Structure formats: structure tokens, C-alpha cells
């Protein structure tokens, strides 16, 4: 396995030189396991998560196979279709095609919602070799008659389980029904819930099965910790933690969009420049924020689970689970944003009392316990957080307007917390349903962070601070791409987010 080279997998010279330019020296396990079968035209069922090199695993054979058949795409058609759940992932995949196909004559474009359709319609008008799309926008364009799917030769469903989570599975089935049966089909999913294996059985023909995440996700390179911090203390604690660690680049995950906005604002006000990214932000805003984060101009990104997968930014040193996810697998995807491309990384979860069952579920999935954060650094963080809370509580006591604003904000936040609103039908991003049990909120309990037996824990007495908690498809890029520190170049250019532009 380890002796394999890209050349020995059967890839053509033009692709090998594009890979060299990316700094890729050896194929990853999923590439080794998938590429020869895909070059031979087999269907594939891949159990793999982002970060394993799965994009190249499917993109390289697609580029080679399409290049070998000297066929031009028909107007409004594509020859290969890649369906991905989020705009960010779709844009990244499109960028990867640009990088890996730099020496080919194939064209590509990406379409997703949240931006104008006109440039996308134009880009597909003459036909493209590779179309990357999110399901909703693709169907929309198909329904308008501006995209045809009756000439698709190869189709990839990426992050199928995520599409299921996001409620796209019916759209995906509709899309599959529009594609000729005589095709090559690839399905990738990090997990294999029943719905996904059912879908796989119905659309794949005698697939090669490749799994690089057997049961247990690979998180060995990540230094994981959990700090037990009450809800009302989390914000001060996180700020102290970021300051203490001098994070180079961190992602903080929150449960709600409102929570992400609020936390990003609070961190920024406290001197830690942070921006939020979630589904309510405009696509331009999301692109700008991601560009700033990738370029290193933005130190802290506060994200909902929209960003938990798909987003591939090298050099994220820390992942903070400000709130634990409702679904244990999501924890793994979140922390997988760090320790990419062989680097190490640190993931710290802030767990309050109500979240203990969620932590248990995560530990069950990992089949190990997450070590409790302890030691002088965390003691200092706890002390700093407490100081901040006491100062803020004093400021609130001294200013009735501030106190009223805090109380209103607390109410508003409670209404935004899906755990308190299951009957309204609102739900956390990307989750079809919120958990139905309502939890008693400890929001109002002012907390005190204390170091106890070398680990962080908290008590509910002490401080009075309350919780607030182109006109054508793009020609494949021939210019050297911005290379990431790890040599993974394609993802560092976010140009793919601007659909319809022509690559140089």
C-alpha cells in the first residue's frame, strides 16, 4: 500500500505533473484504494470523511476518463456531475478540479444557491465537462430548463450522509432519476446510516467498497480535552482560553446561528477579532469571511455546523466546541477541522451540566474518554475568566440600562436555543429535527469557575454575572495555484466560490 505512487495507480502524465505542482508526493489510502477501480469505470461506495484526500480520489479518475474520450459537452449539459451538500464544499471541489485538471482542456463550473442565477446559467449554456452543484440550485436550474442531466456519464454524490441530515435526500433522488442509468456512480459518505445504504443499493451497480474510516474515526492526531464550564461562564472562559493559548487560527462551534453571531461579536469587543459564518449570512459575506480566515487576517471563526464539514483550511490550530453537538458524529467532523494534512491540532470542548449526556455519547462513539482539561494553564484561564465575569457583573449592576439589555438578551437567547423551542419547529442548522426533550435551563445561574483536583469544574455560587451567553464553464486553471502550507493547494484559493468566472 505504502509503495504506491500516483504513476503506479495508472494516472496519466498530465495529471501527475499537476499533482506535483500541488506538492502531493504519495497517494493517500483512499486514493490508492479507489483510483484504479474508478479508472476502470467501476461504481464506488466510499466511506470516508473530508480530510482523507477523497476529492482527489474521485476527481483524478474523472479528469482522466473525460479527457480520454474526446467528446464535447452538449449545450446546457455536463459530462460529469458532482453533487455536494454545501456551497463551501461545492466551491472547494470545483477549485480542486481546477487544480488537478490544470493540464487538461476540460471545462468546469460550480452552481449553488444564495447567489444570482444568471452567471451560472451562462456558464452552463455551452455545456461543461464537470458541473459541481448543490442539490437545490441544480434542481431549480433543471426545472427552468437551463440545465440538462441526460448526458451525464459520471455522477458523484459527496457527503451523502450530510445531504440526508440537511433534508436533501429527496432532491438527490430526483436528480439521480434524471441521469441516464448507463453511467458510472460514486457515493461518498462519512457514515452509513440505513437511508444512505438504501440509497447506495438503489443507485450503485456492483460497487467497489472503500472505507478509510472503518468504525472509529481517526482522531489520534488531535489533542482533545474537555473543560467542565457552566453555560453562563463559557464566553469569559473561551476568551481567556484563546488569549492564554495565543491561538494562531481557531474555529469555535456553536449550536445556533444567533449564538454564533453573539459570540463573535462578544469576542471581537473583547479584543479577539472574530467573525461568524452560518446559513443566514449572505454568500458574499460567507466568502469574504472564509477568505479572511484562510488568508490569516481573521484569527477566530465562529461557526455553526454548516462549516463542520467540507471546509478545508490548513493550519487551524484549535477547534473549540463552545456547545457540544446533539449528534455525536458531528463532534468528530468538527474537530476534524484541525490536525489536517498530517499536522497536529488541539480540540477543546466546553461542557456544561446539561451537556454531560452529549459528552457521554461522544465518548461512546470514540470508544475512549476525552481527557479533562487540567494544569496551570487551565487554572489561569479559570481565574482570568472569573475576573472578567466579576468585572462584567459589576458593570451591569452599575448600569440599569445594561442590566435591562442583558435580561432581554437572555430571553431572546433562550428563544433561539433549539432545546427550548422544539415545539416551534425551529431547529439547529442542518438538523431535520431538534431533540424533543426540553431541558431545564441553568442560564440564570451565575457561576464560578474553580480549579478542583487539577481539573476545571464550576460551582453555581459566587459571582453574580449572569449568562448571556465566465460566461463559459471555467477552463481548468493552468496557473500555479496558491499553495497551502501543507502542499494542499487547491483549497486555499476560494475562487471557486465565484461561479461563472473563467479561470486563467
Positions in the binding site for ligand AMP (CB under 6 A)? 24, 27-28, 31, 50-56, 312, 341, 487-488, 490-491
Q: Which is nearer to ligand AMP, 63 or 373 (CB)?
A: 63
CA atoms of 15 and 63, how far apart (whole Å):
8
Q: Please enumerate in sequence order all residues whose Cβ is within 8 A of that of 240, keeping only pairs 6 or more positions apart, or say none.
A: 380, 381, 382, 384, 385, 388
Comparison of 218 and 460: residue with beta carbon closer to ligand AMP: 218
Closest CB 492 distance from ligand AMP, rounded Å: 8
Q: Return the number of the residue (324 or 332) whose C-beta is nearest ligand AMP.
A: 332
Question: Which one-letter DSSP state was computed for residue 485?
Answer: T
Q: How far is the CB of 54 from ligand AMP (least distance, A)?
A: 5
Note whether 332 and 365 are within 8 A (CB): yes
Distance from C-alpha of 133 to C-alpha of 142, rounded to nearest angstrom? 12
- Least separation, in Å, of the C-beta of 283 and ligand AMP? 21
Q: Which CB, 465 or 476, lies closer to ligand AMP?
A: 476
Residue 324 neighbours by CB distance under 10 Å? 25
End-to-end CA distance of the chain: 36
- Min dist CB 229 to ligand AMP, Å, is 32
Burial class (CB in 10 A: 0-12, 13-18, 19+), 134: buried
Pairing state between β 448-452 and 455-459? antiparallel
Backbone angles phi, psi at 40, to 5 degrees: -80, 0
d(CA 270, CA 289): 19
Q: Closest separation between CB of residue 422 and ligand AMP, Å?
A: 34
Q: How far is the CB of 22 from ligand AMP (least distance, A)?
A: 6
C-beta of 53 vs 127, nearer to ligand AMP: 53
β-pair partners for 154:
80, 184
**CB-nearest residue to ligand AMP:** 488
Q: What is the closest distance, in whole angstroms, from the C-beta atom of residue 495 to ligand AMP in the complex?
A: 15
Closer residue to ligand AMP in complex, CB, 134/467 = 134
* For ligand AMP, the closer CB: 28 or 467: 28
Least Å distance, CB 218 to ligand AMP, is: 12
Listing from the earlier edge strand, what are the strands of the sheet with 274-277? 222-228, 345-351, 318-321, 250-253, 300-303, 274-277
24 or 465, CB closer to ligand AMP?
24
Closest-CA residue to 460 (of 353, 311, 316): 353
Amino acid at each position: 500500500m505504502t509503495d504506491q505512487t500516483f504513476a503506479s495507480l495508472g494516472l496519466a502524465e498530465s495529471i501527475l505533473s499537476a499533482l506535483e505542482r500541488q506538492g502531493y508526493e504519495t497517494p493517500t489510502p483512499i486514493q490508492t484504494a479507489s483510483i484504479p477501480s474508478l479508472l476502470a469505470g467501476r461504481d464506488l461506495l466510499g466511506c470516508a470523511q473530508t480530510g482523507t484526500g477523497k476529492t482527489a480520489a474521485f476527481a483524478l479518475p474523472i479528469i482522466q476518463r473525460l479527457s480520454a474520450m474526446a467528446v464535447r459537452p452538449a449545450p446546457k449539459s455536463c459530462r460529469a456531475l458532482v453533487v455536494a451538500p454545501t456551497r463551501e464544499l461545492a466551491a472547494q471541489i470545483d477549485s480542486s478540479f481546477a487544480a488537478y485538471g490544470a493540464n487538461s482542456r476540460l471545462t468546469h463550473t460550480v452552481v449553488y444557491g444564495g447567489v444570482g442565477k444568471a452567471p451560472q446559467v451562462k456558464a452552463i449554456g455551452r455545456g461543461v465537462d464537470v458541473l459541481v452543484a448543490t442539490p437545490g440550485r441544480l434542481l431549480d436550474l433543471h426545472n427552468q430548463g437551463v440545465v440538462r442531466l441526460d448526458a451525464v456519464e459520471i455522477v458523484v454524490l459527496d457527503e451523502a450522509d450530510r445531504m440526508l441530515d440537511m433534508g436533501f435526500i429527496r432532491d438527490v433522488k430526483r436528480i439521480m432519476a434524471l441521469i441516464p442509468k448507463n453511467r458510472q456512480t460514486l457515493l461518498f459518505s462519512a457514515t452509513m446510516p440505513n437511508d444512505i445504504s438504501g440509497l447506495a443499493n438503489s443507485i450503485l451497480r456492483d460497487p467497489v467498497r472503500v472505507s478509510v474510516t472503518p468504525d472509529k474515526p481517526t482522531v489520534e492526531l488531535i489533542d482533545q480535552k474537555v473543560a467542565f464550564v457552566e453555560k453562563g461562564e463559557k464566553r469569559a472562559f473561551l476568551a481567556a482560553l484563546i488569549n492564554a493559548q495565543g491561538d494562531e487560527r481557531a474555529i469555535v462551534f456553536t449550536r445556533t446561528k444567533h449564538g454564533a453571531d453573539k459570540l463573535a461579536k462578544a469576542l471581537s469587543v473583547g479584543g479577539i477579532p472574530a467573525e461568524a459564518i452560518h446559513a443566514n449570512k449572505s454568500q458574499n459575506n460567507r466568502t469574504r469571511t472564509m477568505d479572511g480566515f484562510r488568508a490569516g487576517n481573521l484569527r477566530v471563526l465562529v461557526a455553526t455546523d454548516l462549516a463542520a464539514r467540507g471546509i478545508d483550511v490548513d493550519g487551524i490550530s484549535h477547534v473549540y466546541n463552545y456547545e457540544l453537538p446533539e449528534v455525536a458524529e458531528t463532534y468528530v467532523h468538527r474537530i476534524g477541522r484541525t490536525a489536517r494534512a498530517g499536522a497536529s491540532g488541539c480540540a477543546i470542548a466546553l461542557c456544561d451540566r446539561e451537556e454531560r449526556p452529549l459528552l457521554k455519547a461522544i465518548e461512546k462513539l470514540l470508544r475512549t474518554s476525552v481527557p479533562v482539561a487540567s494544569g496551570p494553564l487551565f487554572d489561569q484561564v479559570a481565574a482570568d475568566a472569573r475576573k472578567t465575569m466579576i468585572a462584567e457583573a459589576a458593570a451591569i449592576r452599575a448600569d440599569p440600562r445594561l442590566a435591562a439589555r442583558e435580561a432581554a438578551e437572555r430571553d431572546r437567547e433562550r428563544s433561539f436555543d433549539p432545546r427550548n423551542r422544539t415545539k416551534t419547529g425551529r431547529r439547529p442548522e442542518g438538523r431535520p429535527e431538534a431533540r424533543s426533550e426540553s431541558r431545564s435551563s441553568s442560564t440564570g445561574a451565575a457561576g464560578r469557575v474553580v480549579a478542583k483536583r487539577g481539573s476545571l469544574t464550576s460551582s453555581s455560587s459566587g459571582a453574580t454575572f449572569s449568562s448571556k451567553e465566465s460566461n463559459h464553464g471555467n477552463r481548468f486553471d493552468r496557473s500555479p495555484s496558491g499553495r497551502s502550507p501543507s502542499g494542499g493547494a487547491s483549497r486555499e484559493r476560494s475562487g471557486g466560490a465565484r461561479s461563472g468566472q473563467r479561470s486563467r
